[in-house]
Amino acid sequence: MWVLGWVLLLIPLGLLAVLLAWSWPGTARPFRDINGQTVPGSIAEKIRVEVNGLPQGMFIKGRDATKPVLLVLHGGLPSHVLTQRYPTHLEDDFVVCWWDQRGAGLSYSRQATARPITLEQLIDDTLAVTSYLRRRFGRDRIYLIGHSGGAFLGMHVVARAPALYHAFVGVAQMADQRRSELEAYQFMLERFRERRDAAMIRRLEAAPVTEADGVPSAYLAVRDTAMHRLGVGTTRGMKSVITGLFLASLQHREYTVREKISLWRGKIESGVHRLWRDMLATDLARAVPDVALPVYFFHGVHDRTCSYAGAKRYFSALRAPLKGFYTFHESAHSPIFEEPARAREIIQLDVLAGQNRLADKR
């Protein structure tokens, strides 16, 4: 029995040791050349800045600090969590600010999540972080990318203050999320019926998404599992949130153990649900029908988290001085992580050049 007791003690201690090793050093990794020396003129910081009365964290990274500045707006989980497993190389073309929004990741605190986080707060926070970046790097305008829920937020931001940004890139653009969830539900139920997956069929049929009753909480409890099992969730190849996101976050060396705990506390306490009611109640074609700056949508054709067809409908209706829609045929919800080379080519040749030559032909 004493042997079993030691084993039961050593297992959690071993797991803790591995987690501590994966969390070292918990600082932003510098850019290094082939000789292992820090690249001159590069920047790699993990900092906290006071934003509208709350300390909020961010990674600021770029191989060349004179490059244009890019602010990234994440969805339910800070986007930087995925960069170790799925490098985007955005830092080669920009000084990238991977900001963890109010109540999320590095910006998690009980004060931040004590009250519901509102769309207006996040718009104000985004504008404050934008002002900080503009002042710090001496830029009149910066670039803005939003992913999923961050794309929903981003469209409201650029509608409010287009003069602060060169362009906006909506990745997995959320448009009419209530309709998107209905379409996703019908798609998944049909696929699982084809597979004769009785257990998943029962779970979905017990929590129907309908025009009349909307999106029940019971559906949300099964939604991510179902989407990832079909390859229409975070990435085409990610079959589980546990292995694809949770374990990936634990292995990220730029977050400390405490910060990794905060990542998931923030998601549970706010996360995608921070603006969920706003998202379900909003059709962006009505709320933001036009913007006064170039807009680019990057969307995976396999995405069911935010409808590909819905993003195309919104894009067609949206009025902007320049716009481009780009279909990523090998991607689900995260094309900048799934097809980074193509995303970078579009950014270099179209977004930074103020063109739309590589966009889908209508």
The band of 21, judged by pLDDT with boundaries at 50, 70 and 90, is low
The band of 18, judged by pLDDT with boundaries at 50, 70 and 90, is low
How much of the chain, in percent, has pLDDT values that exceed 70?
92
Quick one: pLDDT at residue 241? 85
Of 27-36, 126-135, 189-198, the poorest mean pLDDT is in: 27-36
Q: What number is the average pLDDT over the span 58-84?
A: 94
Quick one: pLDDT at residue 11? 43
Q: What number is the average pLDDT over the span 333-350?
A: 97
**d(C-alpha 73, C-alpha 148), whole Å:** 9
pTM for the complete prediction? 0.92
Structure token digits, residue 145: 């990318």
Q: What number is the average pLDDT over the span 4-12?
A: 47
If you count DSSP H runs as helices and E runs as strands, how many of each does the chain have, helices first?
15, 8
Structure token digits, residue 31: 């850019």
The answer to whether residue 10 scores a pLDDT higher than 50 is no
Quick one: pLDDT at residue 148? 95
Cα dihedral 35→39→40→41 (10° resolution): 180
**d(C-alpha 319, C-alpha 314), whole Å:** 10
Q: What number is the average pLDDT over the span 63-74?
A: 97
The answer to whether residue 292 scores a pLDDT higher than 80 is yes
Structure token digits, residue 94: 């920009």
The answer to whether residue 8 scores a pLDDT higher than 60 is no
Give the chain's mean pLDDT: 90
Give the bridge partners for 319, in sequence order: 290
**Letter for the amino acid at 330?**
E
The answer to whether residue 64 scores a pLDDT higher than 80 is yes
Helix, strand, or coil here: 214? strand
Give residue-wise pLDDT tens across range 228-266: 999 999 999 999 888 888 888 888 889 998 988 888 888
**Residue of 51, 210, 189 whose CA lies nearest to 123:** 51
Structure token digits, residue 267: 């998601």
Quick one: pLDDT at residue 271? 45
335 versus 270: which is more confidently predicted?
335
Give residue-wise pLDDT tens across range 306-321: 999 999 999 999 999 9
**d(C-alpha 237, C-alpha 135), whole Å:** 40
Q: What number is the average pLDDT over the span 60-74?
A: 97
Cβ(54)–Cβ(111) under 8 Å? Answer: yes
Q: What number is the average pLDDT over the span 207-222?
A: 90
How much of the chain, in percent, has pLDDT values that exceed 90?
70
